[in-house]
Amino acid sequence: MTDLARRTAPARAGALRRAAPALLGYAAVRALGLVVLAVWSAARGKSAHTLLTARWDALWYTRVADLGYGYEVRLPDGDVHSDLAFFPLLPWLERLLHAATPLSYADAGFAVALLASLAAAWGIFAVADHVYGRRAGICAVLLWAVLPVGIVQSMAYSESLFTALAAWSLYAVLTGRWPAAGVLAALAGLTRPVGLAVVAAVWAAGIASFGRERSAAGLGVARGGERAPALSAHGPSGRATASGGSPDLPRAPGVARRVTAMAVAPLGAAGYVLWVGHRTGRGPLGYLDVQAGWRNGFDGGAAFARFVGGKFTSFPSALAGAGLLAGVALVVWLYATCVRQRQPLSMLVYTGVVTALALCASSYFGSKPRLLLPAFPLLLPLALPLARLRVARSALVVAGAAALSAAYGAFWLNGSGPP
């Protein structure tokens, strides 16, 4: 065993032990959701396995894994639903796991989702623990698990895979591991269109680091690339953070590593978009045409505003409209709180882009809660007060939320489900 392996193995074991309560709690919440879904589905004569692996987007992913790209559905209204709308990393992993095991493509997708959800939970813990401390990290993971649409984390969808890549990329930025941050951002860009949020986070943190060094140089501070910035502020957990309250750069790595990370980060998303453009013959606009065929795009939230406004035409639907407005207000308030709490720049940029893309998409309004799943930093303003409670009280809160989430997830998948 090399010296490097001897040093890293205990470090990884220690990191896993530190995260173990969060991961065990997460697994328990998700197991409860799956059990309730199985019982609920059986009572309605449906298959929970089918709901998790062979409905909605999961069917598109497994078809790509099995047959490759090139399938489309032409609807009577003229819309064209093409499988080119689905980014390739999840189907690639489904194909790889199917080739290496007896699992079907659908079951391979389910296995990837389960493993990725655990990786995502660990990544969320790592980020929150780094910024606010261990108890906040545990609470952030549990809050992510008990979200009303948390059942999606266990479906053969790409949300869990994307969140895992995004969380670990952010953690790599926060801890100065720039090459890893760039590679993980590139992989996130191969997973979902919102991978642009991870790219933006890496770029924002990189540019800010150069700005800090320039300012330090102007004040006569040595610019040595290995020198850590001064510590002057402390987060809610009492942890020292970088000057200005942001632990984005605990140490200042060499310029070449940061530039390389920033160059690598967009390659995944850019590569797939350019490939789609070449395949469709439309150049860089090809992917936008594919999304237009699904009636999906970015209109600044105008279509969503009309959708919500349309709910206020009668009393029963007005309640739904009020609920939607309350939900949007809550998301905006949470993000504003993240800013007030001075979360690291990389996290604020990532969360802002994910939230904007989710709320301002022009179609699939019922999918917006699912699209917000990767915006886990929004949960930190709730995780902090939960972490301050006594363990028994916080456990009671999480248990109640887990029961409600499990019931809602079973009801949702046996009803309209995620489009």
Q: What is the pLDDT of residues 57-93, one digit of tens each?
A: 999 999 999 999 999 999 888 889 999 999 999 999 9
Residue located via tokens 């453009």: 277
pLDDT bin (cut points 50, 70, 90) of residue 37 is very high
Q: Which residues contact 97 (CB under 8 A, 6 or more apart)?
A: 103, 108, 111, 112
Q: 157 lies in which domain range?
A: 19-231+238-294+390-413
What is the model's pLDDT at position 321? 82
What is the model's pLDDT at position 222? 41
- Round the average pLDDT of the chain to a whole number and report it: 88
300 domain-assigned: no
Residue 6: pLDDT above 60?
A: no
Taking alpha carbons only, the member of 369, 377, 374, 375 closest to residue 408 is 369
Distance separating alpha carbons of residues 287 and 279, to the nearest angstrom = 10
Average pLDDT, integer, range 263-292: 93
pLDDT bin (cut points 50, 70, 90) of residue 171 is very high
pLDDT bin (cut points 50, 70, 90) of residue 10 is low
Residue 243: pLDDT above 70?
A: no
Average pLDDT, integer, range 377-406: 96
Distance separating alpha carbons of residues 209 and 212, to the nearest angstrom = 5
Q: Say which range, 2-11, 14-23, 94-103, 195-204, has the weakest mean pLDDT.
A: 2-11
pLDDT bin (cut points 50, 70, 90) of residue 220 is low
What is the model's pLDDT at position 7? 45
38 domain-assigned: yes
Taking alpha carbons only, the member of 155, 201, 182, 171 closest to residue 52 is 155
155 domain-assigned: yes
What is the number of structural domains in the chain? 1
pLDDT bin (cut points 50, 70, 90) of residue 283 is confident
Cβ atoms of 338 and 351 closer than 8 Å: yes
pLDDT bin (cut points 50, 70, 90) of residue 354 is very high
Q: How many residues does the chain have?
A: 419
Q: What is the DSSP string of 336-376?
A: HHHHHTT--HHHHHHHHHHHHHHHTBSS-GGGHHHHTTT-G
Average pLDDT, integer, range 194-205: 97
Report for 1-10, 204-213, 271-280, 300-309: range of highest mean pLDDT: 271-280
Residue 359: pLDDT above 60?
A: yes
The upper half-sphere exposure of residue 18, i.e. CA atoms within 13 Å in the direction of its Cβ, equals: 20
Q: Which residues contact 303 (CB under 8 A, 6 or more apart)?
A: 362, 363, 365
CA distance readout (Å), 77 to 81, 293, 294, 304: 11, 11, 11, 21
- Per-residue pLDDT tens for 137-150? 999 999 999 999 99
225 domain-assigned: yes
9 domain-assigned: no
Residue 177: pLDDT above 50?
A: yes
Tokens read off for 408: 């809602």
Helix (H) or strand (E) holding 63: helix 57-67
pLDDT bin (cut points 50, 70, 90) of residue 134 is very high
Residue 224: pLDDT above 90?
A: no
Q: Say which range, 242-246, 331-335, 345-349, has the weakest mean pLDDT.
A: 242-246
Distance separating alpha carbons of residues 320 and 332, to the nearest angstrom = 18
Residue 231: pLDDT above 80?
A: no
402 domain-assigned: yes
Four-CA torsion 30, 36, 42, 48, nearest 10 degrees: -20
Residue 5: pLDDT above 70?
A: no
Which of the pair, 367 or 392, is modelled with greater confidence?
392
pTM of the model: 0.90
Which of the pair, 363 or 95, is modelled with greater confidence?
95
42 domain-assigned: yes
Q: Say which range, 68-77, 153-162, 263-272, 399-408, has the weakest mean pLDDT.
A: 68-77
Handedness of CA 34, 39, 43, 45 (dihedral sign): positive
Q: At what angle do helices 159-174 and 195-218 cross, to 10 degrees?
A: 10
What is the model's pLDDT at position 11? 66
382 domain-assigned: no
What is the model's pLDDT at position 285? 87
